[in-house]
Structure 1
Amino acid sequence: MSPVVVVGAGLGGLAATVRLAAAGRDVTLVEARDVPGGCCGSVSLDGYRFDTGPSVLTMPRVLADVFAAAGHDMESLLPLRRLDPYYRLRFHDGSHLDMVAGREAMAERVRELCGAAEADRYLRFRTRLGELFAVEWRDFIDRDVTRLRSLLRPLALARLASLGGLRRLDRLVKAHLTDPRLVRAHTFQSLYVGLSPRQALGIYAVIAHMDTVGGVFFPADGGMHAIPRALADVARKAGASIRYGTRAVKVETGHDGVRAVRLDTGERLPARHVVVACDLPAAHQGLLPPEAGDWRLRRPRFSPSCLVMHFGLDRRLADQAHHTLHFGRDWDSGFSALRAGRPQPDPSLLVTYPESDSSAAPEGHATLTVLEPTANLRGDGDWTRLTPYLRERLLGRLADLGYGDLSQDCRLTYDPPAWAGLGHSAGTPFALDHRLTQTAWFRPAGAAGRVPGLHFAGMHTAPGVGVPPVLISGRLAAERILRTPR
């Protein structure tokens, strides 16, 4: 079989590598860092281990399918546990809502917080979310949309429109739910795709379905970084060669397409197919040939970034959920600030407390990670001033929320310049946002039309941002290669 080189050992690159190697292809995976994971990374410091990438895992069957492609049962190699609750949502008025498993159990939580009438509305809306998900998953998310004709599905599009998927997200949700707290519980997910609920299309209500209906999961041991480690092991067992600490510097092409990948060691890896699964805008700055240019990246619109603080605690917290979302008081002004490229005046915070991960901290200790959405580097902020200000403000906010004085417990901070230093364009780990003109076929293509054999995977291409979409992008790249006789 003609050789394949995959550039980048993030989840997209690993998913493609596993599937290609399992199909008998000669695959070499090249990764600039010393470990797999890409965005799904890990850092150990002062006896604590922190996940530095995604903390939310939904749709575990997408991940299980990657293991199954190589003949492995995920549960035996990477056991997962369902979080309970999936999230704890705390509102500025002091109330809270736990998102839990089960239709009736969740309706009862809504009934206790919002009343019986809203619980009935919630159940009808939950059904609507399921209908939207069924249409989108089959016809758009889990499908290769590299070619424009892939979107020409009139019946599916008509069904989406009838369900409200082409309306704005906030209008769709408010048409079904009336309590502002419940509306926030089903629209905050728009931040995952880099937009406010007023900007995002209703199709992104499916993220709320994945989170609040499908559930949120976590590896039983080793944190989120256990996922890429397990996938890398499976790739090796399937016959792939993995080169860590090696950077790809040039994809070489000829008249018939891809020829080789040149490495920073001076080596030249012959290849008839290449999967580029790293930061795509950065790859176009030298790694990729000019003819691989994509008009969709001429004016890229990036998602907001985030300030993340990792704390190592010498204690455990009582009655703390794995994921707690503290909503800011002024919901709309926060999104307006992000759109304008400014920090939010009263941000919502995601607090992650992986108490069940025994590898995260010494016995009797714990880790705490706090994420505040903020502007990316495309704004005009002076981060030498902004970062210290935001750190201090965040520490004060956490103290007010009951976490105590954490100023001596902070072990690690990531701000937009730090994300840029890790290779994320515009200083955001969330890639391009998902406005209509950067969704599906309008998102950078999964294959270079003018360079046969050149494919792309990861969050900059379709389906987009998030663990399941990135894994799907790797599968789609592998399937395109396996269909090609090159």
Structure 2
Amino acid sequence: MSGRTVVIGAGLGGLAAAVRLAAAGREVTVVEGREAPGGCCGTAQVGPYRFDTGPSVLTMPGVLADVFGAAGEEMDSWLPLRRLDPSYRLSYHDGSRLDVLPDADAMAEQVREVCGPDEAARYLRFRTLLGELFATEWPAFIDRDMTSLRDLARPYALLRLASLGGFRRLDRLVRSHLTDERLIQAHTFQSLYVGLSPRRALGIYAVIAHMDTVGGVFFPERGGMYAVPRALAALAEKKGAAFRYGVRATKVEADGSGVTGVRLETGERLDARHVVVACDLPRAHADGLLPEAARDWRLRRPRFSPSCLVMHFGLDRQLPGRAHHTLHFGERWGASFTALDRGLPQPDPSILVTHPVSDTGAAPQGHTTLSVLEPMPNLASGDRDPALGDRLRERLLARLAELGYGDLSGSLRLVQDPRTWEREGHSAGTPFALDHRFTQTAWFRPSGAARRVPRLHFAGMHTAPGVGVPPVLVSGRLAARRILADRR
């Protein structure tokens, strides 16, 4: 017996599940409260400018291509991508800079020019270590279902990770191989992607540095990052999935045998044999969307990632010579992380500037867009002073002027901050979900399946594998695989 699957949420996790289920011949209905797909991977139009309002860094395109492949399609026909060159430009407070290039020899040459020949040799050895960590960790713990404790029991992989330094702190692991502070920062800033400072994150998260510094960073040739969910939704529809936009699911109904249906805010009820909840999980529990029996002990005391301030600018000029992604490091590296750990604004933040010059449809001819991200405390840990956002915005404008971007105070802009994220349904006002401390990693992260409510599954950032475009896509694949394997 198959029956209908209702997917709640048309973000990347929900779309990945919907594509796979529909391609397998299952009846699928996707319910999305917004008027379009995307979830966190959204878009906004302000005047003549279009902005990506979600992730700006796309790594591991093979994971995305696998979703299209599961439907018998070639990704390039739907979503052609280009590799960014450089992946990042790293700009340091002393005036030096380092372009991150995926080619080993080219990157080693960059390191040799900036940090010296001895550090270049150390870098190549460290790059090999990153590959070994990734080769061990990805198949054993990231690209694998963690709904059962026995899935964590992989002695060889655990021993191998330990021998490679995966259970040391990330900062100490990297410093044991590299000595130049600039190169250390280049391989530890990624810990913020999992909501932790390099001093608190485990060494296993060095695999993120492997994903973007070795594997490369990509970008859609047309339509910006929002082209990703748009293509996935179109593919799911082609394979037979039905989409209900602009309507919220209010209750997942279940009886003793498992889920039976989904109630919508219109009062309509959708019969369902399986349900995939692919939205903010703590909010789903708090709002009563989920049955009481679906509660997960792992969410009793959730620890959330920091949030961010993002300012999107529409410029009536261009910025020649700028890289697609530039990370401007602050001078007070350690103090900034200490402040963020304490729920305080960073005194000297490192900021990520995205200049998608290849996204020609985002701005009129001769114009361009710019998006700037600064980490800041979430609303669960930080000061809820409503004036804080204004102060940080003014400081960021001044910082951008100092960095050579000009006076942007009069430019058309769109601002996102923790209060924005909270209004959009993100718990604690952060779009980065739960952080990835050890007790919220792998099996210890909220389960992908409700143990006491059969046929209720979860996808997205709040469940394993976790935050980031590739892990979220994997979560959708895992949910679909469990459903397709259910022969009851």
- Provide the residue aligned with 1:244 in structure 2: 245
Alignment of 1:323-342 (within 5 A): 323-342=325-344
Asked if the contact 1:309/1:410 (under 8 Å) is kept, the reply is no
**Which residue of structure 2 lines up, in the alignment, with residue 51 of structure 1?**
52
Write out aligned runs for 1:131-280 (5 A): 131-280=132-281
CA offsets 1:298-320 (integer angstroms, 9 cap, x no match): 00000000000000000110110
Question: After TM superposition, which residue ranges in structure 1, 4 or more long, deviate above 2 angstroms?
Answer: none
Does residue 343 of the first structure (1) align with residue 356 of the second (2)? Answer: no
Equivalent-residue separation in structure 2 for 1:419 and 1:299 (angstroms): 20
Residue 319 of structure 1 is matched in structure 2 by 321
Give how far 1:120 is off. Answer: 0.1
1:359 paired residue number: 361
SS at 2:474's partner residue?
A: helix
Following the alignment from structure 1 to structure 2, what is the Cα–Cα distance between the partners of residues 230 and 218? 14
2:410 aligned partner: 408
Task: Give the drift of 1:110.
Answer: 0.2
Match of 2:387 in 1: 385
User: Is 1:6–1:275's contact at 8 Å kept on the other side of the alignment?
Assistant: yes
Q: Distance in 2 between matches of 1:387 and 1:169?
A: 30
The one-letter code of the counterpart of 1:394 is: L
Cα deviation for residue 46 of structure 1 reads 0.9
Aligned to 1:456: 458
Q: Which whole-Å CA distance do the structure 2 matches of 1:121 and 1:348 have between them? A: 25
Distance 2:408 2:3 in 1: 55
Structure 1 position 265, deviation (Å): 1.0
**Counterpart code for 2:367:** H
Closer/same/farther in 2, CA of residues 377 and 60 from structure 1, 3 Å limit: same
Cα-to-partner distance string for 1:15-47 (whole Å, 9 max, x where unaligned): 000000000111100000000000000000110
Residue 129 of structure 1 pairs with residue 133 of structure 2: no
8 Å contact kept, 1:168–1:197? yes
Counterpart position of 2:116 = 115
SS at match of 2:26: coil
- Measure, in 2, the Cα distance between the counterparts of 1:371 and 1:409: 17
Segments of structure 1 that go 5 or more residues without pairing to the other structure are none
Shift, 1:405, TM fit: 0.2
The secondary structure found in structure 1 opposite 2:50 is strand
Write the distance in 1 (CA, Å) between the matches of 2:466 and 2:382: 27
1:110-154 superposed Cα distances (whole Å, 9 cap, x missing partner): 000000000000000000000000000111110001100001110
Measure how far apart 1:258 and its partner are.
0.2
Cα distance in 1 for residues equivalent to 2:481 and 2:242: 19
Q: Deviations over 1:151-208 (max 9, x none)?
A: 1110110000000001100010000000000000000000000000000000000000
Counterpart amino acid of 2:485? R
Residue equivalent to 1:428: 430
Matched, 1:469 2:478: no
Q: Secondary structure at the match of 1:359?
A: helix
Report 1:73-112 matches (<5 A). Answer: 73-112=74-113
Amino acid at match of 1:384: P
Cα deviation digits, residues 77-129 of structure 1 (max 9, x gap):
10000000000000000000000131100000000000000000000000000
SS across alignment from 2:387:
helix
Q: 1:477: how far off? A: 0.2
**In the TM superposition, what is the alpha-carbon distance from 1:381 to its structure 2 partner?**
1.3
Q: Distance between the aligned counterparts of 1:3 and 1:273, measured in 2?
A: 7
Q: What whole-Å deviation, never above 9, does each CA across 1:312-365 have from its counterpart, x for those lacking one? A: 000110110000000010111111111111110000000000000011100110
What one-letter code is carried by the residue in structure 1 that aligns with 2:250? V
Whether contact under 8 Å (1:383, 1:417) holds in the other structure is no
TM-score by length of 2: 0.99
| Superposition deviation, residue 382 in structure 1 | 3.5
**Partner SS, residue 360 of structure 2:** coil
The Cα shift of 1:410 comes to 4.1
Q: Which residue of 1 aligns with 2:481?
A: 479
Task: Tell me the secondary structure at the aligned position of residue 224 of structure 1.
Answer: coil
CA offsets, 1:399-456, max 9 Å, x none? 0001110001141101101110011000000000000000000000000000001000
Whole-Å Cα distance in 2 between the matches of residues 45 and 93 of structure 1? 36
**Residue type of the partner of 2:66?**
D
Percentage of matched positions with identical amino acids: 72
How far apart in 1 are the matches of 2:384 and 2:290? 32
**CA distance in 1: counterparts of 2:280 and 2:465, whole angstroms:** 15
Q: Could you list the runs of 5+ residues in structure 2 that have no partner in the other structure?
A: none
User: Which whole-Å CA distance do the structure 1 matches of 2:230 and 2:434 have between them?
Assistant: 26
What amino acid is the match of 1:375? P
